[in-house]
Amino acid sequence: MKERIGRDISAACQHLKAGGIIAYPTEGVFGLGCDPNNERAIESLLNIKHRDIAKGFILIASDQSQLSPFIAQLSTDIETKLHNSWPGPVTWILPCSSTAPDGVTGGKPTIATRVTAHKIASSLCAEYQSAIISTSANISGKPACTTAQQVDEIFSHRIDYILDHEVGTLKGPTPIFDGLTGDQLR
């Protein structure tokens, strides 16, 4: 049996390509993720977390170009907000493109996005050459995991790979802002 816990970003990418669910460190908590274009993987992630599809998911990326297929054309004002906060621990709700998967947007006309500054999460997206889904590693309504061991205890054999590195220094999930209004939502 292949290792389920390790420090190998390439192994995590192989699981993503195969439609798997992985766990990885982010700025403040461990995230669970999959390929945002794989409907079956999204359904699996929803089931694992006991999450309502209407909530949608956050996409993280190593640079803004990886988010381009998922977001609509943005105004100069919004681009400035993004430029001033990315890469960094700030999630923005932006208008989505017409091709953004409903499983990611929750069927809404917007999508949650972040260009991460977390070294491992950014390296994961860079090597995968795509944005990936990022949702806190927890069962909906429960506290998020902050270590690979916690992820393993809670999700056991329901996920394919745990990328065992440290989370960042943020205490909890990233703040979320509305890109159109600038209002903080979380």
Spell out the domain ranges in the chain. 5-178
* 109 in Cβ contact with 101 (< 8 Å): no
Residue 118's alpha-carbon distances to 101, 110, 114, in angstroms, are 25, 24, 11
Architecture of domain 5-178: Alpha-Beta Complex (3.90)
Low-confidence ranges of the chain (pLDDT < 50): 1
pLDDT of residue 1: 40
Phi/psi at 84 (5° precision): -75, -15
pLDDT of residue 15: 97
